[in-house]
Amino acid sequence: MFKMAVGQSDEVDPADAIAAAIDACRAGLGDLEPQAGILFSSFDSFDPSVATALRDAFATATVMGSTSAAEISSVGGYQEDSLTLAMFASDTVDVTTGLGTGLSRDSDAACRQAAAQALAATDREPAVCVMLAEAYGADPQATLDAMARALPDGVVIVGGASAGRDASALRPSYQFAGDVVTDDGVAVLLLSGALSVSTAVGTGWRMLGATGTVTRSTSGAVLEIDGRPATEFLARYLDVTGPASYGNPLSVVEAGSDEPYYRAISGTDPMVGSVFVAGEVPVGAVVQLTTADTDEILGGTRAALTRAVEGFPAGVEPEAALLFSCAVRRFLLGSRTRVETELARSILGTTIPMAGIYCYGEIGPVRGVDTSRYFNETFVTVLLGT
């Protein structure tokens, strides 16, 4: 047995919102006792008292989570300024949590701390790790790599970066587990045991113009492409950068892989010739600008959902869905953002509980790359079952 119960509320008072979500999860679980849970909460809906209320409500379960740019659930659909709570119960899968703090000072230590807490509470083989982390104090891909080192080989890492109040205020954002809340940490939910899982990534972006090879880069910036200042590569196609270029993310294909992931372009330094991106782009990666209209972006959502369903192990039915989409997709889709959730309900069906977050960067596997990658402007689908 494996069950995920979901509650969502957009009550203005955080105490009222979490109480409503707790009641919905209790009703969904019936007589089952939850092991752990995950909370996605808008910045304005979150208060440290929310974590305390969850601890008091579920004596046998620890809830982890983070602040979000928007929230998704099977009970409330797409909402802003709400919170979504998912509680897990199973007799064949252990669901455990952990929290690492001081991420900006030592990402390896923070990831080891979070992983150790989650691993210590299970003797089953870990299968999936949901990771929610602060993404601006430390390089998000470096944090993800540190988490991969802290976990046993073969664990699929998915998740996203916690969100601040809005796009102009990237920090602070909050991560928590139990009643410990931090603005500089990484929270994990670890699922261990005989778990069936499929993941799929979709974007909708199509390639634009020539390719180039990154010849010099650093965390948060591409310095040179094909041995020339990276701004020269962009200048062939873009007159301005920053929010105006969110519709043209940089496709990144690493050596050994044939599947791209994407980096949002947040600006340039004309004096140095560097292009600012959200996360590292490794030297040797092949990059290319992309473009898409809203129909194509939603086509990427549909593709991720469809591939996840098609990739789920034969003879097993999905019992839960976790969805991770990007705050930039929300920005670009505008009033059509809710269509992503409508597509999820249409493709996954009406009986599968789902919970999701709009975040400041998504996490998922990439074909041909050993560990998961940090994405931008991407939709990640995770299906779980036993």
pLDDT in tens, 182-209: 999 999 999 999 999 999 999 999 999 9
Q: Which of the four pLDDT bands, split at 50, 70 and 90, describes residue 78?
A: very high
The pLDDT of residue 131 is 98
pLDDT confidence of residue 167: 66
Please give the average per-residue pLDDT across 381-386, as a whole number: 97
Token pair for 314:
């034969």
Strands 2-9 and 83-90: antiparallel
Q: What is the pLDDT of residue 163?
A: 95
Q: Taking the model in full, what pTM does it have?
A: 0.96
Tell me the sheet residues that pair with 289. Answer: 208, 250
Q: Hey, what's the torsion of the CAs at 161, 166, 170, 176, to 10 degrees?
A: -50
Nearest to 68 by CA among 39, 47, 88: 39
Q: How far apart are CA 117 and CA 180, in angstroms?
A: 13
Residue 176 three-state SS: strand
> In 204-293, where does DSSP find H-type helix?
230-235
Q: Among the residues of 103-154, which ranges form H helices?
A: 107-120, 140-150
Looking at residue 237, its pLDDT comes to: 87
Task: Using DSSP bridges, classify how beta strands 362-364 and 156-161 pair: parallel, antiparallel or unpaired.
Answer: antiparallel
Cβ burial of 19 (10 Å; 0-12, 13-18, 19+) is: middle
- Residue 43 backbone dihedrals phi, psi, to 5 degrees: -60, -45
- 111-161 tens-digit pLDDT: 999 999 999 999 999 999 999 999 999 999 999 999 999 999 999 999 999
Average pLDDT over residues 253-260: 92
Q: Give the tens place of pLDDT for each residue, 162-186.
A: 999 876 667 899 999 999 999 999 9
CA distance 321 to 348: 8
Q: What is the largest CA-CA distance in the chain?
A: 64
Q: What is the pLDDT of residue 84?
A: 98
313 pLDDT higher than 90: yes
Sort strands 83-90 and 93-101 into parallel, antiparallel or unpaired: unpaired
